[in-house]
Amino acid sequence: MSVRDAARLYIDAILAGGEPGVAAVDFTAGLGAEDRALFQELSLGTIREWMFLDWVIAKYAPKPPRGTLRTVLNLSSYQLLFLTRVPDYAIFSQASAISSALGVSEPELKFVHGVLKTIQKNKDKLLDIREASLERARKGTPPESGLEWATLNLPQPLLDALTVVEDK
């Protein structure tokens, strides 16, 4: 199992109500130190940025993705936007491989590729919007219309996963 697939399975397990600490151990068994570090960055980074990633995907997707496809898109979007050491072609390849392994249809594969391509094209603009919104929040200024993606709206299982990690 690839590190990215393990991160996707972990996030899906958390969303389904799994115990964050136990789930992480289950999905990192057999991974070397570098892969465990990447797993942690991918899974916790995606969870931390979940609402922003949902907002980004909703901005470019003609319809909201559901279930595991949502997790694949959020995980891949996180990598495109925040991980500078991972080449974009590898992110696209992994998203396609994971989606194919899940048995998604050809139109869904094109959907995933199209959304990721649009995010890639608008990366700098999206990160500027995120930073401006975070700066407004730091100053106590209400977020701009449409940017209410703050962690206050993070699904409770994901919020719990972040809390478990930060408490250790």
Domain ranges of the chain: 3-167
Query: Where are any strands of DSSP class E within 3-69?
Result: none
Distance CA 52, CA 55 (A): 5
Q: What is the pLDDT along the chain (168 residues), one digit of tens a residue?
A: 788 888 988 888 888 877 766 667 778 888 889 998 999 999 989 988 988 999 899 989 988 888 889 999 999 999 999 998 889 999 999 999 999 999 999 999 999 999 999 999 999 999 988 888 777 767 766 655 555 544 445 565 565 665 554 444
CATH architecture group of domain 3-167:
Orthogonal Bundle (1.10)
